[in-house]
Amino acid sequence: MFAQAEPLLRQEKLLIIYFVAILLFITVFSVVFVIAFQRRKNKFLIERLENQQKFENELAKSQIEIQEQIFKNIAWELHDNIGQLLSVVNIQLNMLLDKTPEEHHEQIKETKNLVSETVQEVRNLSKVLNNDVVLKNGLLNSLHLEIVRFNKLNFLEAQCQVTGDIVPIKSSNEIIIFRIVQEFLSNIIKHAKAKKLIVLLNYKDNSLEITAKDDGVGFDISKITQNSGMETMKSRAGLLKADFSIISKPGKGTSLYLNYPYGN
C-alpha cells in the first residue's frame, strides 16, 4: 500500500508548512508574552514599593519640618519673652539695690547674678533649638554649645572629640544629624543618671561616624517599648540613609552609633 502512495500535492505541502509555521509563531509568541507579562508585573511591584517608600520619606520629612517649626517657636518665645522678662527682673533688682539698706546688697547681687546666668542659659537653649542658628553655626559648633550647656548644668561631665579632616555636609542633613544626637543627649540627661558622656565625631574618607557613650544606668533594649524618641531617631536616620544603632545593657551605660555616608 505504501509503495502505491502518490506524492503529496503542492497544496498539501503548503498546508503542512502553514500549520508548522503558525504553531511555531504561536509558541514563540506565548513565551515572549509570558516573559513580557512577568517583567511588567515586576516593574509594577517595584514601582509600588518605591512609591510607598517615597511616601514614608515625605511623611518623615514633614514630621521633622513640623518639629523644627515648633522648636523654632519655642526658641523665639524663650529668647524674646522669657529673656525680656528676666531682663526686666534685672532692672528691677538694680533699682532695688539703690533703695535697700546696705546689709541686703550682697544677697541682691547674688540674685542678680543668678538672673543673668539664667538669661544666658535661656539664650543658649534657644540657640540650639532654633534650626536657623544651628544652620548658621554648623554641626560642630552647635554640638559644642550643647556640650557646654550640659557641663554648666553640673549633672555630668561631657566631652566632645573630633578626629579626621572635617568634611562639609549638606546643611539640611546637618540639622537632622544634630537633632538625632540632641535627642540622644537629652534622653541621657532625663533617664541615664550618668556621670560621664563622650561624643566622638570621626570624619572618615566616605562617611561621618558619630559615637556617643555614657556610663549611666542603661536599659534593656528588648524590654523597652518603642517610644517616640527612639522612633524619631530611627526615622531620621532612615531619611539620611545612615546606619543607626543604640546599644545598651542595664548597668553598663548606653551608646549611640551613627554612620552617615557623605554621598547621600
Residues in contact with another protein by the rule CB under 8 A: 10-11, 14-15, 17-19, 21-22, 25-26, 29, 32-33, 36-37, 40
**Cβ-contact 140, 203 below 8 angstroms:** no
CB nearer another protein, residue 30 or residue 53: 30
Locate 111 and state its grid cell: 540674685
CB of 4 to another protein, least distance (A): 21
CB nearer another protein, residue 15 or residue 114: 15
CB nearer another protein, residue 32 or residue 70: 32
CB nearer another protein, residue 13 or residue 252: 13
CB of 26 to another protein, least distance (A): 8
SS3 state of residue 4: coil
CB of 13 to another protein, least distance (A): 10
Provide the residue type at 227 as one letter: N
CB of 27 to another protein, least distance (A): 12
Angstrom distances, CA of residue 211 to CA of 137, 182, 186, 246: 21, 13, 15, 10
CB nearer another protein, residue 41 or residue 54: 41
3-state secondary structure 78-123: HHHHHHHHHHHHHHHHHHHHHHCCHHHHHHHHHHHHHHHHHHHHHH
CB nearer another protein, residue 37 or residue 55: 37
Strands 157-163 and 196-203: parallel
Complete edge-to-edge strand list for the sheet that includes strand 157-163: 157-163, 196-203, 207-214, 254-261, 243-248
Q: How far apart are CA 13 and CA 11, in angstroms?
A: 5
CB nearer another protein, residue 35 or residue 95: 35
3-state secondary structure 184-213: HHHHHHHHHCCCEEEEEEEECCCEEEEEEE
CB of 38 to another protein, least distance (A): 10
Q: How far apart are CA 104 and CA 113, in angstroms?
A: 14
Q: Which residues pair with 213 in a beta bridge?
A: 198, 255
CB of 21 to another protein, least distance (A): 6
CB of 1 to another protein, least distance (A): 23
